[in-house]
Amino acid sequence: MGPEHRDPDPVGWAAAVLVDAAGILVFVGIGRHTHDHGVTLAGMTSTAWPFLAGAAVGWLGCRGWRAPGRLVPTGVAVWLSCVAVGMVLRVVSGQGTAPAFVVVALGFLGLELLGWRLVCARVLHRRARRRPT
């Protein structure tokens, strides 16, 4: 069966962008709280914008609106771009990028940005198996 016969992605791109952004904001909020930086609007904005910009680069780079709920390519592209571009933008803007922070960001954002897509794929797969043919 070719790609033209594939079911359309049931996850809307706007919902996927919002879930991705929410995951990034949770990561930022937890980090700021854990390190006693305060969870203020200015602080959250300052810390979040590099990662949000990185996620946007990933979305655009893989044309994520075509398959917003797919793990590959969208989820992986958004995740890796979020972290890579986010860290570069942090350096350029004078923010820190300790190696441990990069590892934590890869892990946490991977769970957030890939995790919800894996859960959706499992649920949809189970529903499809239950559907009569």
pLDDT tens readout for residues 109-118:
999 999 999 9
Structural domain contains residue 3: no
Structural domain contains residue 55: yes
Residue 15: C-alpha distances to residues 18, 35, 96, 128, 129 (Å)? 5, 30, 31, 22, 25
Structural domain contains residue 30: yes
pLDDT mean across residues, the chain: 91
pLDDT in tens, 15-58: 999 999 999 999 999 999 998 888 899 999 999 999 999 999 99
Residue 82: C-alpha distances to residues 32, 41, 87 (Å)? 18, 20, 8
Structural domain contains residue 5: no
Output the CA torsion sign for 22, 24, 26, 29. negative
Please give the structure tokens belonging to residue 112. Answer: 């957030």
Structural domain contains residue 32: yes
Structural domain contains residue 110: yes
When pLDDT is cut at 50, 70 and 90, the band that residue 7 belongs to is: low
Structural domain contains residue 94: yes
* Of residues 81, 83, 59, 69, the one with CA closest to residue 114: 69
Mean pLDDT value of segment 121-126:
84
- Split into its structural domains, the chain has a count of 1
**Host domain of residue 20:** 10-130
> Is pLDDT of 4 > 50?
no
Report which of residues 48 and 124 the model is more confident about.
48
